[in-house]
Amino acid sequence: MSRPRVLCVSSARSTRAAVTRALADVSVNVVVAQSTSIARERLAHETVDIVVIDASTVADVAGLLERIDAAHPGTPAFVHWSDDEAELAALAEVVDARGGSDGATPARFGPTETLASAIAASTERRETPLERFVGDVKRRLADATSPGTIEREIREAFTATPGFAFAWLGEYDRGEREIVPWLTDAATVEWPIHRTFAIGDGSQPLLERTLHSRELQTVGRLAENAEAVPLGETALERGVEAVAAAPLATTDELYGVLVVYARDGLTEASREAIRSIAATASYALESVAVRGQLEQQERTLRRYERLVETAGDGMYVLSHEGYVTTVNDALLEMTGYTREGVLGEHISLLFGAESVDAGTETVETLLADGRTTDTIEVTLETKAGQTIPCETQIAVLTHDEEYRGSVGVVRDVTERKQRERTLREQNERLDAFARIVSHDLRNPLGVSQGYLELLEQTESFEYISQIEEGLDRMEAIIADVLAIAREGEGAVEPTPLELGDLVTEAWENVSTGDATLSIEAGESMVVDADRSRVLRLLENLFRNSVEHGGPTVTVRVGTLESPTQTEVDIETNPATPLGSSASEGAIGFYVEDDGRGMPEDIREHVFESSFTTSTSGLGIGLWVVREVATGHGWSAVATESEDGGARFEFVVRESA
C-alpha cells in the first residue's frame, strides 16, 4: 500500500518547513499548497489522505474544510492556530460548526511535535469512505452468478455514492462493432441508456480509446468535451464534470467497458477505485463465463450419455489414455460383460491388439489432419472368448486443442461379412466359368476340330477315337460346371448314406483302367449328405488319382482316426467358409493314393478356383470337391499320403 499523502496548506514558508521536518519520521508523503486556490486544485485532481491547514495564513478555513468534505469525505483535517485569543475564539467557532456537520471534525494542533504524533496516530489505519465503497462493491461481486447481477450491483453502488452521478456496463459486440449496454431493470433507470454506441466510426472516442488501450480513459471539463463521451449532453444536464471508461477485460478476453460519471471531477483515488472495481468485475464476468461453459458441458455430457445409453449400436467413451469411462447396454450385451467389469478398464479388454493399434493410429491421424471422425474395421472379443467382426466409427474429443479422449460406435458386421463372402464366391464362380469357357473347353474343342478336319481330309476313321476323347472331356467339364453351379446354392435334402456304398458306386462311374480301389474302413460309416453331389466329389477325386497317379495307382478310402496336422485346409482360400484343419477327435474320411503326389506349393493352392487353369493339368475337379464339401459344411485338407501320394481328408463333424 502507498504511503498516505499529507497536504499542508500555508503561505508561510516557515510553517511549511516546520511541518515537513516534523513529519520526516512519520511514514507519509508531504505535499504543499501555498494558497487556498492551489489547495482546491490539488484536492480536485490528486489523492489526499490528510490535510494540515495553517489558520494564520488561510483566510477561509471553513470554506476549505467544506471543499475537503466534498472532494474527500471523511479525510482527517488538522488546523494550526496561534495563541492570540481573538484568533482562537474565531477558530473555535469554526471547529464547533464543523463538528456538528457530517464532515470530519478538524483537530487543533500547536507544536509540530504534537502534529507529528497526531498524524502518526491517524495513519495507523483509518479506512477512507472511498476505500469502504470499493471494498463493499467487491464483496457484492464475489457472489455474482450472472452478468445482470454484476451490472446491477455496480450501477446501484456508484449511483448511491456521493461524488458520482451514474454508471453503466456495456458489452463489446465484435461482429456489429458496437457497445451494447447491459440493463437489467430499465424501468428504474432515468438515463437514456436504451441504445448502442458504434465503435470505429469516430463517434465515440472515449470508448474507442478504452477498447484499444485496455486502460482507464477519462474526459474532464465535460462542458467543453460533451461530444467525446457517451450520453454527454445528458451528463451535462445532471451536473457531471468528468467521465471515466474502464475496460472489462482479462488476459484472454475483452468483455466490454465500465463507464462512470463523476459530479466533482476525478481524483487519483477515484480513478484507482474505478480501476479496481472494473478489474474485479472483469474476473467476475470470467467466472460467470467459465461456470456457464462448465454447466453447458455438463448438460451436453448428460445428453450424450443418455444418447449412448439408448443407442442401438454399441458405444463407448475412452479417456485420453484409452480407459473406458462410459459404455452403453448394447455393447455390454454384445460382449457379455457387466458395466462394473468394463468401466475403468483399458480398451484392450474389448478389442484385440491389432484392433487397439489400428484405433490408436486412427486417432493420431485424425489429430494430425484436423479431422474428427473415421471408420475402421476391428475385431470385438467377448467375455466368452468369441470374436465378432465389427465396424467402429471413431470420433476424437478435444478441448482448447488438447486431446481429451475418443468415442467409438461399434456395429456388428457379421451378416455383412457373410454377404460379402457370398458375393465374392459368386463372382469367383463367374470368373471361373469364364476361364473354363475360354480355356478348358476351348482346348478339347480345338483338338476335336483338328482331328475332324484330318478325318475329312483322309477319310481315315483312326481319328474318331481322338474326337470322341475330346468330346468326352468337354462333357466332363460341362458336368463339373453344372455341379459347381448347383453347389453354389448349398447341399439339399441330405440323407443318411453308407460311405462304402458311395465309394463303390463312384469308382464304377469313373474309367479307372488298371487302377485299384481299397476300402480300408474298419466298419461302415454313415454320413448325412446329398447322394449325387457326394458321388461327384468322390468321382473327381478318383479321376484325379488315375490321371495324375499313373495307370496302376492304388486308391485307398478309410475313416479318420488321428488326422494329420501338417495339411493345408480349404481356408487357404479366404473366400471359403470352411472350418480349420482336421484335428484329433474329428469324425470323417480320407481318400489317398500312392501316386506321384503333389508338391507342397501346389497343395497350398489346390482348392482355389484360380488354380483350375494352371499348367499342372489339375482342371477344375478339385474345385468341385471344395464346393461339394462347402455345401455340406465339411472341412477339407490336402496333404501327403504315407506312400508319397496325394491325400485328402474330410471332417464331417466333431466327435462328442
> Is the pLDDT at 549 greater than 70, yes or no?
yes
- 100: pLDDT strictly greater than 60: no
- The rounded Cα 440 to chain-centroid distance in angstroms is 58
Q: How confident is the model at residue 114 (pLDDT cuts 50, 70, 90)?
A: low
Mean pLDDT score, 310-317: 80
190: closest CA among 147, 225, 229, 234?
A: 234
- Environment class of residue 573 by beta-carbon count within 10 Å: exposed (0-12), middle (13-18) or buried (19+)? buried
What is the per-residue pLDDT for 435? 66
Can you tell me the mean pLDDT for 197-209? Answer: 91
49 phi, psi to nearest 5 deg: -105, -30
Distance from C-alpha of 323 to C-alpha of 12, rounded to nearest angstrom: 83
pLDDT band at 81 (very low <50, low <70, confident <90, very high): low
Which range in 102-106, 125-129, 457-461, 577-581 is most confidently predicted, on average pLDDT? 457-461
Q: How high does pLDDT run on average in the chain? A: 79
The whole-angstrom separation of Cα 568 and Cα 128 is 97
Position 95 scores a pLDDT of 45
User: What average pLDDT does range 275-288 have in this prediction?
Assistant: 87
Q: How confident is the model at residue 28 (pLDDT cuts 50, 70, 90)?
A: confident
Burial, 510: exposed, middle or buried (Cβ in 10 Å; 0-12, 13-18, 19+)?
A: buried
Residue 31 has pLDDT above 80, yes or no: yes
**Residue 483 — very low, low, confident or very high, per pLDDT cuts 50/70/90?**
low
Q: How far apart are CA 219 and CA 217, in angstroms?
A: 7
Higher pLDDT, 463 or 338: 338
358 — pLDDT class (breaks 50, 70, 90)? very high
Which pLDDT does position 589 carry in this prediction?
A: 92
Distance CA 33, CA 30 (A): 10
The pLDDT value given to residue 125 = 53
Termini Cα distance of the chain: 93
Q: What pLDDT is attached to residue 307?
A: 64
Which carries the bigger pLDDT value, residue 27 or residue 126?
27
With the C-alpha atoms ordered 495, 500, 504, 510, is the resulting torsion angle positive or negative?
Answer: positive
Helices (H), 436-523: 442-458, 464-487, 499-508
* 228-to-155, 231, 258 alpha-carbon distances in Å: 21, 9, 16
The answer to which of 234-248, 384-398, 472-486 has the lowest mean pLDDT is 472-486
- pLDDT for 117: 67
Q: What is the percent of the chain where pLDDT is above 90?
A: 21
Beta strands 495-498 and 526-529, pairing class: antiparallel
Q: All domains of the chain, ordered by start, with CATH? A: 5-122 (3.40.50.2300), 129-291 (3.30.450.40), 313-409 (3.30.450.20), 490-654 (3.30.565.10)
Average pLDDT over residues 640-649: 90
**Helices 147-159 & 268-310 angle (0-180, nearest 10):** 160
Angle between helices 499-508 and 531-549 (to 10 degrees): 60
Q: Is the dihedral of CA 545, 546, 548, 550 positive or negative?
A: positive
Q: pLDDT-based confidence at 475, cuts 50/70/90?
A: confident
| Residue 74 backbone phi and psi in degrees, to 5 | 80, 5
Q: What is the mean pLDDT of residues 126-133?
A: 74
Q: What is the pLDDT at residue 285?
A: 86
More confident site: 377 or 81: 377
**614, pLDDT greater than 50:** no
Return d(Cα 157, Cα 134) in angstroms, integer: 9
Higher pLDDT, 436 or 393: 393
Averaged pLDDT for residues 83-92: 47
Three-state DSSP at 197 gives strand
As a whole number, mean pLDDT of residues 482-504 equals 73
